[in-house]
Structure 1
């Protein structure tokens, strides 16, 4: 059976998009991570403490991007030296879960 060229092209474009869909976030896992690793500096409500900035009001894309930058060892602010070793331990799934929890609960 021969597939029409237009259909084949649509399938070729759609398959990579489906394969790259991000995993669903586990907000409960993100909450547990936040409580054990993030709250001591960013506060229980995400408003920040002392020189530690708030995470309150940040969207998922911003949070994921920033955590990935820290994980890669980039300097992105005055507290980079503190964040880089923390983020270095995070998997993609951890970052997804943590970012989803923060964005959903600290608006």
Structure 2
């Protein structure tokens, strides 16, 4: 019985370590995508500049929803024409990584 508990505890610990590593990789991928795609308009710290709005303070669900709507071709707001081409090249993973990075780093 003790052996089974020990094995189960080891498996649970391994799963937690793997999920933490996956989350870190997603944030890193989001950071890379942000720096290469978003920072030139929204700023290195997501504070916005000129006509480009701040992303700081936005939660992951809001950012993901907006990016998905832009990608789908929906009219989202005054800057849809600028954002649609940016979002159309994003995969579902890109959107998840970006939105989690923005929510984690800029809040």
Give the TM interval when normalised to the shorter protein. Answer: 0.7 to 0.9
Are residue 37 (structure 1) and residue 34 (structure 2) matched? no
Q: Aligned residue pairs: how many?
A: 84
Name the counterpart of 2:60: 60
Structure 1 runs (4+) deviating above 2 angstroms are none
Q: Distance in 2 between matches of 1:43 and 1:74?
A: 24
Q: Which structure: greater helix fraction?
A: 2
Name the counterpart of 1:100: 100
The secondary structure found in structure 2 opposite 1:39 is: helix
Q: Distance in 2 between matches of 1:29 and 1:48?
A: 21
Question: What TM-score results when the alignment is normalised by the length of structure 1?
Answer: 0.76
Question: What TM-score results when the alignment is normalised by the length of structure 2?
Answer: 0.76
Q: What are structure 1's unaligned runs of at least 5 residues? A: 1-23
